[in-house]
Structure 1
Amino acid sequence: MAAFMEVLDTTIVNVALPHIAGALGSSYDDATWALTSYLVANGIVLTISGWLSRLFGRKRYFLICIIGFTAMSFMCGLSTSLPMLIIFRLAQGFFGGGLQPCQQSIILDIFPPSQRGAAFSLTAIATIVAPVLGPLLGGWLTDNFSWRWIFYVNVPFGIITTILVAILLEDPPWERSRRERIDVVGISLISIGLGCLEIMTDRGEDLDWFASPFIRLMAIMGVGCTVAAIIWLLKAKHPLLQLRVLKNRNFALGTLMIGVVGMVLYASAVIVPQFAQQVQGYTATLAGELLAPGGVAIILLIPVVGQLMKRGVPLHYIIAFGFFTMALSLFLAAQLYADVDFRFLVLCRIRQTAPLAFLFVPINMLAFSTLPRSLNADGSALFSMVRNYFGSQAISLSGALLTESRQVHQNDVSSYMYLPRSEVHNYLVHGQKLAEAHGFAPLRAQAWSMYHLYNIFQQQVAMLAYNEVFDILGLVALGMVPLCLIAAPPRKPKAAPGGAH
């Protein structure tokens, strides 16, 4: 429940941004800070959550995060201005960042390796289905009630989760609070580095990328502080995050794989409803409904994947199959056309999300199969951070790529739109006659014909841009297939217990 709330809030805001902008008297671009601020804070805290868990004790830190996340959700709903909403979204992301790593390290400690597949399957329902259902729930609440309810909906679930965790959860001896040195340098470098990189990618397109002094400053600070943070964490005596977890081959490869899964999952969960709303003219609710069947497909397929692992199918074969089918589905989705209907978009979304069932649980099993128990907290923090941070970067970069691609295709297609061209001339004449037949005056009919042609032109350019983004995401997924085949030895996942301790 905790992870579901946190992941849900990474996408539930997407379809409500136009309503938030209108209600708070801001532009759409400014309203996107409500999304960016959450992702920035979330990415930073994910990295240091292992250290915070050791500092406070895992149960206590988990409860702090749940209570803080719930309270900040309520305050977001009460916001009366955009700056107020951004501040509370920052705080919400700060508390939310600790929920997923805590949940994952709890599962790793409580369940023996032979039962982790079943446990991670339940986790997958929360982590994969939440971003899929986010736009659906957000659209329905926004259209039928108010955008404020996309935040209020967290409150009852947060209260229930707090009570259940307080009653049922106990820390193992090695996860109770203990004296931890505060790594001020590490925290500062990670916070500045990841935060600046997220701001750079999110605002780069709006500010013309490196033509902007602000974006250049963010790039220099982001890259410089991130590199410095890596060097510091490798050399510090008491780092807040043990990067030596990446020396474990399976964990390093699994972390990279889950990062790519996050990229495709979050980017597609944003651009599909965006296409439906901005190009096809769907309502927020209808755009969200496109994603719901994909969530159902994942829930139905996860038990099938569990059976495959029980029957001894090698993990790296399952993961390779998942990435290959994901790439194929994205290439098929890059076939958008002018008269695309709701059914086509739903089928595209089902094909995109179904392969996630073959990825999430097997990748988790692979990554933690040989990681020592003492590194579970650091591994969970880094694993969750990479998935969410890659996902947030993919959201920003896919939006920027859509804008850039539209501009390129607009220039290309407009070269064929000159009036003396027979196809253009005949279309305008036909449109004008059609308008006049419906009672338009000649001048108004001519203007209507030009306007109609312009709308079709914009729709065609947009479809070319969306198709290009799907092709790029498909290539990224396809590039993981060879890596999967060399990632793990062909052994049953039950062989993992020996290395877990």
Structure 2
Amino acid sequence: MTAAAPPAGGDVATVGAPPSDPPQDQAKINWTFLLLGFAGMVIGQFMAILDIQIVAASLPQIQAGIGASADEISWIQTAYLIPEVVMIPLSGYLSRLWGTQKVFLVSCSGFLLMSVATGLSNSIDMMIFFRALQGFVGGAMIPTVFAVAFTAFPPDKRITASIVMGLIVTLAPTVGPTLGGHLTEWLSWRWLFFINVVPGMLVLFLVGRYANFDKGDPSLKVGFDWWGLALMAVFLMSLQFVLEEGSKDDWFADDMILLLSVIAAITGPAFVWRSLAYRNPIVELRAFTNRNFMVGVVMTFTVGAALFGGTFLLPLFLARVRDYSPAEVGTTMIVSGLAMFATAPFAGRLVRKVDVRLLMFGGFMMAAWGMWDAHAVTTEWGFWQFAGVQAMRGSGVMIAMIASQQVTMSTLPPHMVKNASGLVNLFRNVGGAFGLAFLNTSLTTNTAIHMGELTSRISQTSTQMTDMLSGMQSMMASSINPEGAAMKAVYGILQRQATTLAFGDAFAMLAIGCAFAAFITLLAKPVKPQAGAPPMDAH
């Protein structure tokens, strides 16, 4: 395909006009159309990523509102994520077939309709159904923005676009639970979904009016790979289900988890074989032959684990150990967002002047340093103790993400960019899912181990233990069973300490993972900026 991106390669007088050949002079770029169209896509991307976590702090209210059980309510998040991972890589093919603008408009329209339907749901079955459709259709809004940043923008402006995307990808899951908690408190849980309508209408206007970046290629529908689509869908949905639900169901001890693991192990290689053998594959995997893309994907996977893992551990610790409210958790978590905002402009300047491999190394080491500091967490840690941890982690993840985007995408030939952007986003999401599954299992296992170690050190005949129990029995003399109440209180103290130690282990594991990734970055080839070069062909 040879159609060029109009805003980056020709002056657009009317949306929908056929694109002209890309000029060499950036002065002819219609920056108004380019920036407004890209801004609309970025807002849509923010909504799609935000909705993954916006329900996290409000699950009890949703559960009460629709009469769901504790097991059922967790599917409000799982139902969104499982179909989303299918659309993310598929969006690259659809963008080449229909054009980025059409795919984004259809995705955003469906996302808005499903948001309203989810908010109006009166049963858990209805909500899960519409939530799954919301995740599927909205998934296309995430990777298409990455493709536009590396096709519609001139090379010397792509770093700025990467900074904007980095902020969206890192901030959306961070502010999601906080925003959701406040919305539920001020209005009701239904507004977690209704809030998408107003910004969504703005997205439809901006993208429909200004984002005519490329044209589709209808010839791609000939020989559509239905077998490849089926294999990809079964593989990704099975894998996502196993990662999301495995830690809750004791992994392979559960028949469903075992069955889906076997299905994923079979359909995964079959999908890879089909993609490499078929003439018109759903996902072009040959991008992995590019060394920098391969290294960048590993980095993106690690960024996903560090980003979602850190965002998962800290709120959970504050709620479970410190009994913080959603508002208090949000106040504590804001440090990470502020650190990312403050770091982004400096990261953009450094990417232009310093070897991006060194920036990736430094960013991952900063994140590792922050996570390692948190391995010494105690039951008394709060806002100020976590401030330094979040600042280091937030700054490090931002630097590593912006640098890894340049390494991953900048050396690919233009015709691979759309498919590659879907793969990059897929690996970040899967990395996050792997990280959460690993951390969930680690917390459960290590809490039990530390509890056993703590109880083994305590002797019922020790003077200190006897005095503690006597004191607690005196304090609880008014209860029906003072001795039982005292033993329960001691157990609670030990359980809290064991949980804190398990969180320390989880933070340390994240630190080790980030440090390992830092050294992997050195395998990438140098990336030379092409300042002043013409923008890449959109296809």
TM-score calculated relative to the size of structure 2 = 0.87
Matches of 2:487 and 2:160 in 1, distance apart?
Answer: 59
Q: Does the alignment pair 1:330 with 2:374?
A: no
Which residue among 435, 439, 449 is the counterpart of 2:486?
449
1:279-325: per-residue Cα shift (whole Å, max 9, x none)? Answer: 21111222222222211111111101112123x21000011000011
Which residue among 134, 149, 169 is the counterpart of 1:127?
169
1:498 Cα shift? 9.4
Which residue among 252, 265, 271 is the counterpart of 1:229?
271
CA contact (8 A) 1:44 1:195 kept: yes
In the other structure, the counterpart of 2:514 is: 477
CA contact (8 A) 2:303 2:428 kept: yes
Which residue among 21, 28, 32 is the counterpart of 2:63?
21
In the other structure, the counterpart of 2:77 is: 35
Change (3 A) 1:178 1:106: farther
The sequence identity of aligned pairs, in percent, is: 28
In the other structure, the counterpart of 2:412 is: 371
Q: Does the alignment pair 1:94 with 2:121?
A: no
Change (3 A) 1:295 1:450: same
What pairs up with 1:240-319 in 2 under 5 angstroms?
A: 240-310=282-352, 312-319=353-360
Structure 1: which 4+ aligned runs deviate by more than 6 Å?
498-501
Change (3 A) 1:83 1:148: same
The Cα RMSD (Å) is: 2.0
1:401-430: per-residue Cα shift (whole Å, max 9, x none)? Answer: 222222222233222344223332221122
Q: Does the alignment pair 1:493 with 2:529?
A: yes
1:84 Cα shift? 1.3
Matches of 1:500 and 1:487 in 2, distance apart?
Answer: 22
In the other structure, the counterpart of 1:82 is: 124
Change (3 A) 1:281 1:50: same
In the other structure, the counterpart of 1:409 is: 450
Q: Which moved more, 1:335-344 or 1:370-379?
A: 335-344
1:16 Cα shift? 1.7
Q: Does the alignment pair 1:349 with 2:407?
A: no
Matches of 1:488 and 1:422 in 2, distance apart?
Answer: 64
Change (3 A) 1:23 1:400: farther
In the other structure, the counterpart of 1:428 is: 469
CA contact (8 A) 1:338 1:460 kept: yes
Which residue among 186, 190, 197 is the counterpart of 2:232?
190
In the other structure, the counterpart of 1:385 is: 426
Matches of 2:286 and 2:448 in 1, distance apart?
Answer: 44
Matches of 2:60 and 2:390 in 1, distance apart?
Answer: 23
CA contact (8 A) 1:369 1:497 kept: no
Matches of 1:303 and 1:177 in 2, distance apart?
Answer: 40
1:233-258: per-residue Cα shift (whole Å, max 9, x none)? Answer: 11111111110011111111111101
1:372 Cα shift? 0.8
In the other structure, the counterpart of 1:105 is: 147
In the other structure, the counterpart of 1:419 is: 460
Matches of 1:18 and 1:416 in 2, distance apart?
Answer: 37
Counterpart AA for 2:370: S
In the other structure, the counterpart of 1:212 is: 254
Matches of 2:179 and 2:469 in 1, distance apart?
Answer: 42
CA contact (8 A) 1:297 1:354 kept: yes
Q: Does the alignment pair 1:358 with 2:399?
A: yes
Q: Does the alignment pair 1:459 with 2:501?
A: no
Matches of 2:91 and 2:522 in 1, distance apart?
Answer: 32
Counterpart AA for 1:285: A
Change (3 A) 1:81 1:322: same
1:462 Cα shift? 0.9
CA contact (8 A) 2:88 2:143 kept: yes
CA contact (8 A) 1:330 1:471 kept: yes
What pairs up with 1:46-61 in 2 under 5 angstroms?
A: 46-61=88-103
Matches of 2:85 and 2:463 in 1, distance apart?
Answer: 54
In the other structure, the counterpart of 1:151 is: 193
Matches of 2:209 and 2:172 in 1, distance apart?
Answer: 25
Counterpart AA for 1:36: T
Matches of 2:218 and 2:328 in 1, distance apart?
Answer: 47
In the other structure, the counterpart of 2:20 is: none
SS in structure 2 at match of 1:290: helix
Matches of 1:400 and 1:155 in 2, distance apart?
Answer: 37
1:362-402: per-residue Cα shift (whole Å, max 9, x none)? Answer: 11111111111111111111111111122133223322322
1:495 Cα shift? 7.0
SS in structure 1 at match of 2:376: coil
Change (3 A) 1:137 1:4: same
Matches of 2:355 and 2:445 in 1, distance apart?
Answer: 41
Matches of 1:43 and 1:370 in 2, distance apart?
Answer: 25
Change (3 A) 1:27 1:334: farther
SS in structure 1 at match of 2:212: coil
CA contact (8 A) 1:57 1:177 kept: no
Counterpart AA for 1:32: S
CA contact (8 A) 1:315 1:492 kept: no
In the other structure, the counterpart of 2:40 is: none
CA contact (8 A) 1:186 1:239 kept: yes
Matches of 2:173 and 2:105 in 1, distance apart?
Answer: 23
CA contact (8 A) 1:196 1:219 kept: yes
SS in structure 2 at match of 1:89: helix
Counterpart AA for 1:324: M
TM-score calculated relative to the size of structure 1 = 0.94
Matches of 1:262 and 1:272 in 2, distance apart?
Answer: 16
In the other structure, the counterpart of 2:86 is: 44
Matches of 1:184 and 1:219 in 2, distance apart?
Answer: 23
CA contact (8 A) 2:54 2:179 kept: yes
1:116 Cα shift? 0.4
SS in structure 1 at match of 2:461: coil
